[in-house]
Structure 1
Amino acid sequence: MNDDQLLRYGRHIMLDGLDYEGQERLLAARVLVVGLGGLGSPVAMYLAASGLGELHLADFDQVDLSNLQRQIIHDQARVGQSKVTSASARLGEINPGVRLVPVEARLEGERLDRAVAAVDLVVDCSDNFELRFALNAACAERRVPLVSGAAIQWAGQVTVFDHRDPDTPCYRCLYREEGEDELRCAETGVLSPLVGMIGSLQAAEAIKVLAGAGRPLVGRLALFDLKDAEWRTVKYRQDPDCPVCAARRAD
């Protein structure tokens, strides 16, 4: 690290369990943020501020006026821009030292596989089950850790799938692909600070995994009820019938 980096990241370097070596790992890391909406906004902003070496930003949508209630990376002046362009401008203002890689397209098929293969960790800030399952499968195949978050109405959740370890559970162990009821904030609403809280926790879990600090939420689902201001953590195990984990263990 140069003198400017030592000054910028000094509060991280002071932390027991992160320190100089952990910050060096962050500066060398490449992370894919999937979705630059309510969750992706705080995730991308905190990861950029924390000194991630390279952020890959994936979204195919444009900034809409209805987004501004919760998607704090965007602002009034950027309504109509692509979310990738808008987010890149804001992140460049936060930390010009972070390399930004735009992925302005739907992630599916070979494009999804290439995007996952190019990074060290993925943060899932998407809002549909189909993409979440596809991300989980791609990360499992590539042995890339996946930080998953979701928020709707007054409730949110975060967990970590460490696909580097074949004995840890994955997203498919938690949820079946068939018959899931999909809720979106456009249809049911969401309180704006909730996505900030959940996204911030996702960013923190990503930092812990990359820096080798603390105890990430692997095999544990953190649930937050904002209405009653209550956190609880639920443990879960690998599903012996999970096809994703079976394929991962066979490799």
Structure 2
Amino acid sequence: MSEARDRARLETLLASGRVRETHDLIDDQLAELVGCVRPGERLSGPRLDQAIEALTGGGDRRRYGTWVFYPWSGRLVHVLPEAEFRRVRTDRNRDKITAAEQRRLLGRRIGVVGLSVGNSAALTCAMEGVGGSFRLADFDTVGLSNLNRLRAGVHDLGLSKTVLCARQMYELDPYLDIELWSAGITEESVADFFGDERPLDLLIEECDTPWVKVAVREHARARRVPVLMDANDRGLLDVERFDDEPDRALFHGRGGGLTAREVRDLDPAGALAFLLQVCDPSALSPAMTDALGRIGRTLSSWPQLASGVMLGGALVTDTARRVLLGHPVASGRYYVDLEELIGAAPSPVGTGAAS
């Protein structure tokens, strides 16, 4: 709004009838900014106004910051400038994440392949400020059966999963850089997804297509990009540090050395056998083990729960933060099995038996 051209664009937008709601709480955001910058002072009244004037340089507050238009909802929102916006939005992260670490994280680019389970990971990363640029890949659209684990509404049915995820992320942070790969990953596009001029710093792989799981790891290994995967069973988080170990076998050696092309040529039974080999059937939960023989007969697909998906988003985000900040994280498989930790645990000492 400080530029005449942008002021004219805003007036044109307002006159178009496309704006259904206008949200201008810039004064509240500025008060929060003062609280972040001067946390030891409890300013109010004239002193708070003076502090806000010092931050903004005075003048018309309507012209301060950025006006963001969300065309899918018709909302026009007035927010702080990028640096100040992120200072306030991530203020409660400190000092679990320091200011310097937050800047480093926001400078990183993350790829997410598969946006059912991956939706939770992408949103949690965006919420925590782990990554400022994202590439989202999925060929699928939102179906009713996705709503047991995907944060969406019935009005989103039929919407591209990449579009849904990007909208949710932009509503958290309009300054994000998000690229959509709504055709998913193909043999022709997989190299471009990793990028040469704007390479990925980390890959989160959550797709169901076996050959894609192999192909993205082949490219990640060649480019020394670490890969994280939440298996959505027994709280399994899979970590492959191709950045530190460029010769590491895919899937910790459980892939049998098959290439993406070879996996693509497998028949359905062979593809299922490959996935089981990669997952290690001996480590699956009893519920998942029982489901394996019933998929396609009495079950339509793999069973998944919202609680497991949300747990996976947390595990992936926490680990992504550690990896991107250079903290020691070894390749391997890590379990946060709630059934083992809670379901079979004795009653906590001193609380008595559960009723």
Q: 1:223 to 1:128 in 2, by over 3 A?
A: farther
Q: Which residue of 2 aligns with 1:242?
A: none
Q: 1:215 to 1:108 in 2, by over 3 A?
A: same
1:27-65 CA-to-partner distances (Å, cap 9, x unmatched) read 11111111110x212111111112221111111001000
Number of equivalenced pairs: 223
Q: Distance in 1 between matches of 2:90 and 2:204?
A: 22
Q: Which residue of 2 aligns with 1:160?
A: 239
Q: What amino acid sits opposite 2:148 in the alignment? A: Q
Q: Distance in 1 between matches of 2:236 and 2:144?
A: 26
TM-score (norm 1): 0.80
Q: Which residue of 1 aligns with 2:321?
A: 207
1:198-219 CA-to-partner distances (Å, cap 9, x unmatched) read 222012111211123x432x22
Select which of 246, 251, 259 maps to 1:172: 251
Q: 1:198 to 1:186 in 2, by over 3 A?
A: farther
1:76-97 CA-to-partner distances (Å, cap 9, x unmatched) read 2110111111111111112212
Q: Which residue of 1 aligns with 2:338?
A: 226
Unaligned stretches of 5+ residues in structure 2: 1-81, 259-272, 277-291, 344-355
Q: Does 1:136 align with 2:249?
A: no
The 8 Å contact of residues 161 and 168 in structure 1, kept in 2 or not, is answered as no
Note the C-alpha offset of 1:226: 3.4
Note the C-alpha offset of 1:170: 4.5
Q: Distance in 2 between matches of 1:188 and 1:159?
A: 18
Note the C-alpha offset of 1:181: 4.2
1:168-191 CA-to-partner distances (Å, cap 9, x unmatched) read 744333422464245689424122
Note the C-alpha offset of 1:159: 2.2
Note the C-alpha offset of 1:126: 1.3
Q: Distance in 2 between matches of 1:205 and 1:186?
A: 32
Note the C-alpha offset of 1:109: 2.1
TM-score (norm 2): 0.58
Q: Does 1:195 align with 2:309?
A: yes
Q: Identity over aligned residues, as a percent?
A: 26
Unaligned stretches of 5+ residues in structure 1: 232-251
The 8 Å contact of residues 236 and 337 in structure 2, kept in 1 or not, is answered as no
Note the C-alpha offset of 1:151: 1.5
Structural mapping, 1:52-67, within 5 Å: 52-67=131-146
The 8 Å contact of residues 194 and 226 in structure 1, kept in 2 or not, is answered as no
Moved more, 159-168 or 194-203: 159-168
